Amino acid sequence: MSFRNLSFIVLFFVWSLYVQAITAAPASVLASSSISASSLLPTLVDEVLAEHPEVRAAEAALVAAQARARAAGRPLYNPELELDAERTGVNTTSLGLSQTIDWADKREARHERGNSEMRAARAAHDQVRQQVAREVLDALSRYHTGERLARLAQRRVALLEDFLQLAQRRFAAGDVGQSDVDLARLALSEARMAAAGRASALAEAEANLRALVSRVPASWPHLPALPPAHAAQPSETLLAVHPRLREALALSRAARAGVELARRERRPDPTLGLRGGREEEDSLIGLTLTIPLFVRNPFRAEVEAAAAEARRSEADSRNLRRRVWAAMAAAADRYRLTRQALVDWERSGRPSLQGRVKLLQRLWESGEINTTEYLVQLQQTLNTELAAVELEAEAWSAWVNWLAASGQVLSWLGFGEVGPAQEAAAHAAGGEGGM
């Protein structure tokens, strides 16, 4: 093999590596930027969750529920100390100690109800965090969509400004008439008004985003790439960790514990007392037993009311489960349809637009299409690009809607969630009297 042929092979090999690097560079840069952007997103959401008033209110409600659960686990009655001194013809002094006994174990029923209410408050706290995180994702999606739409509107203005200048030059050369220049000027005016509207919408979207954060970052994080056109259908696993359903189930258990508490409160609690003292030179020792007689009010109505409240709570829980199931299924179908439409556009629609604007300008300059046809087709091309941006925004909205419907917003962002194991552990801890 000659040196010249060897040199040619080496150059060809180096050129091939260069071409591969050039073609692969955009994808790698996009992947790295999406990873870095997505890592900034949880940081922003975490900062919002740490400072948001609704989250802090939910945290305060949870702390209060935990305190009530601890209080419910304490004994119902404290002992009573009684000192009696009497000076008459006979001097009498006595000291007594009495204690009411929780004969029906109302403490256990109160503790169970308190623990269930605490779990409901924890689930409500998780739901508030989910809702605030969703607001952040929605606000970011609207901001970035508005930013892209505003850029497209400015691009349209720039294209029509160039077109107006070109039309004026061709009018001066006698190639086109005054009506063509007027059409170009009107189209430019319309584009500027549309761009102003897009800029106003972008400013409003950014203002809404700023209202959610306590510290505005130097740049807003970008949303990561959308997952494939698949979102899980409703399942028992997703329903078991859904914050709203966990709250409803905990409230239902609290209502059932309230029924048991009402039943136990119908049983009287006796009071035992022991007294000791002196009467002149004699010693006194006394034992008393006091039992309330529930004769005039047997407290049956309270039990009936608690039972009715438990049935209402269970019915509400079943109804909420149905609605969550339906919302999750509808959100999964919506995301699948919009994501597939976006995939179809990226596969077939987007390549068709590449170079379309320059082609239209060449056709107009060559006289193959007139000014009206050029403006109509240019408008159609730009509207298609706008529709593509709005379709991507719709796909993002569908994905966030599925995350919210399934209670997976925080899990998707990488935050810890309260799963069945944690819920069981919390329930066990509450049963031991710690909470």
Q: What is the CATH number of the domain that holds 367?
A: 1.20.1600.10
Query: 322 lies in a domain?
Result: yes
Query: 142 lies in a domain?
Result: yes
Query: 395 lies in a domain?
Result: yes
Triad 30, 133, 66: Cα angle to 5°: 145
Query: 38 lies in a domain?
Result: no
Helix or strand run (H / E) with residue 223? none
Total domain count for the chain? Answer: 1
CA distances from 147 to 191, 200, 206, 296, 313 (A): 16, 11, 9, 73, 46
How does pLDDT run along the chain (435 residues), one tens digit per residue? 443 343 333 333 333 333 333 233 333 222 332 333 346 888 889 889 988 999 999 999 999 999 999 999 999 999 999 998 888 777 888 899 999 999 989 999 999 999 999 999 999 999 999 999 999 999 999 999 999 999 999 988 988 888 788 888 878 877 778 887 888 889 889 889 999 999 999 999 999 999 888 788 888 888 888 877 666 777 888 888 899 999 999 999 999 999 999 999 999 999 999 998 887 778 889 899 999 998 888 899 999 999 999 999 999 999 999 999 999 999 999 999 988 888 888 777 666 656 676 777 777 677 777 878 877 877 888 888 888 889 889 999 999 999 999 998 998 888 865 433 334 433 443 443 333
Query: 268 lies in a domain?
Result: yes
Are 63 and 435 within 8 A, CB to CB? no
Cα first-last separation, the chain: 85
Residue 179 C-beta-side C-alpha neighbours within 13 Å: 3
What pLDDT was estimated at residue 120? 96
Query: 2 lies in a domain?
Result: no
Domain that holds residue 191: 43-431
Query: 229 lies in a domain?
Result: yes
